[in-house]
Chains A and B, each alone.
Chain A
Amino acid sequence: MSTEMDFKALWNKQPIDAKPDIEQVVMKAEKLKRIFRLKLILLNIVLLATIVITIYANNIIANEWLVSKIGAALMLIAYISYLVAYNQLIPILFKTNPEISNLEYLNQLITINRKSAFLDTVMTNIYFALLSTGLALFLIQPFTHMKIVNGITLYAVTALCMAFALFYLKPIGMKKRKRHFDDLITKLEAINGQLREEL
């Protein structure tokens, strides 16, 4: 039984699932493309709306102080950079090429995941740094127009919210994503190692 021919004969006896209608496959591919395009359009609308709202809010509040304007700008940059990095840039920059050899493909996947893990940490830190600095600067002007108690309350509540995000939400999210990347990289390296084993 255990001859090459027997293995091949058995291998070919595997029932093959009926191949889906060719149009269905093509439609699936086109649908994927459409979804991708729709996401792109939606993202741009969100980005545009964010910019408009922030500029509008900045004008309504009539910020005369430069620090407030800088604060608003920093928050805007934080928001945009976060969205760009997470929804658009990463998939485009780190696109895999499915036509290369398995060894090269595995190396590519490892590099992509390492870069994604690094970018995730860097982008999250940049986002929080820009957002908290921007918010702190933005609130200086309203603070001067408030009663001292109201001003302190406003800063305290904002600081509490930021602290919750910084010291609770951020570490949890980052830890979870880091574990995901680490796990994936370890598995990919293990598979890669199979090809490098001494023969």
Chain B
Amino acid sequence: MAFEEIYKTYWSKVFRICMGYVNDHDWAKDIAQETFVTIWQQLPKFRNESAIGTWIFRIASNNCLRQIERQNRMPRSEMPEQIAEIITHDIEPAVQFLYKCISELSETDRLIISLELEDVKQAEIAKIVGLNESNTRVKIYRIKERLAKKFESYEH
């Protein structure tokens, strides 16, 4: 698969995963770009040992985890309310709420649920994260349960 094709197919998926992790458009765009730079650099070495999607999501999720080293970024929740509002005003409230809920989960849960919502197979998620399949299944179930509870209180 050529880089151009990968870029076209996976940009939105990688961007959403990064959004699920940081819930900040600019930051997510930066991580997504870094991911594609890594993909561009590593693509000649890609040996088809895993599916291309799994390989891309591994790089993307590892890049997300690496954000811990960039502590000078101001977390979205700490932004002045006015600025936060300007940036998000045209996004559907329920969509905003979902991403907010996800960004409040623990780091690895954010990645797991983002991959799940991105329609990545659970066996692949297990490979990306490094857990076994049954643990991954349980984790996904519990995260969804938590999200569902949050949405119940959001709707009422």
**B76 close to A (CB within 8 Å):** no
**Could you tell me if B95 and A10 are in contact, using CB atoms closer than 8 angstroms?**
yes
**Could you tell me if B98 and A195 are in contact, using CB atoms closer than 8 angstroms?**
no
Give A182 Cβ to nearest chain B Cβ, in Å.
Answer: 13
Number of A-B residue pairs at CB separation under 8 A: 122
The CA-CA distance from A28 to B42 in the complex, in Å, is: 15
The CA-CA distance from A102 to B62 in the complex, in Å, is: 6
Q: Which residues on A sit within 8 Å (CB–CB) of B38?
A: 98
* Residues 66-100 (chain B) with a chain A CB within 8 angstroms: 66, 68-69, 90-92, 94-95, 98-99
- Return the contact of B108 from the options A1, A12, A13, A195 (Cβ within 8 A): A195
**Could you tell me if A104 and B108 are in contact, using CB atoms closer than 8 angstroms?**
no
Contact residues of A: prevailing secondary structure: helix
**Could you tell me if A14 and B99 are in contact, using CB atoms closer than 8 angstroms?**
yes
With both beta carbons as reference points, the residue of chain B lying nearest to A108 in the complex is identified as B62
**A26 close to B (CB within 8 Å):** yes
* Residues 38-94 (chain A) with a chain B CB within 8 angstroms: none
Which of A15-23, A138-146, A151-159 lies at the interface?
A: A15-23
Q: Which residues on A sit within 8 Å (CB–CB) of B138?
A: 199
The CA-CA distance from A16 to B13 in the complex, in Å, is: 9
**Could you tell me if A195 and B40 are in contact, using CB atoms closer than 8 angstroms?**
no
**Could you tell me if B131 and A17 are in contact, using CB atoms closer than 8 angstroms?**
no
The CA-CA distance from A106 to B41 in the complex, in Å, is: 21
**B128 close to A (CB within 8 Å):** yes
Residue with the highest number of chain A CB atoms closer than 10 Å, among B65, B109, B144: B65
**A187 close to B (CB within 8 Å):** yes
With both beta carbons as reference points, the residue of chain B lying nearest to A191 in the complex is identified as B107
- Return the contact of A11 from the options B40, B58, B117 (Cβ within 8 A): B117
Give B26 Cβ to nearest chain A Cβ, in Å.
Answer: 8
Q: Which residues on A sit within 8 Å (CB–CB) of B127?
A: 101
A-B contact pairs, 14 of them (CB 8 A): A10-B94, A11-B20, A11-B117, A19-B7, A99-B42, A99-B55, A99-B59, A100-B58, A101-B128, A102-B128, A102-B130, A105-B62, A106-B65, A195-B129
The 4 residue pairs across chains A and B that have the minimum distance between CB atoms? A103-B130, A101-B130, A2-B148, A11-B117
List 15 extra interface pairs beyond A8-B119, A25-B7, CB under 8 A.
A2-B147, A11-B20, A14-B95, A19-B8, A20-B33, A25-B37, A26-B3, A29-B41, A98-B42, A98-B58, A99-B59, A101-B130, A191-B107, A194-B108, A199-B139
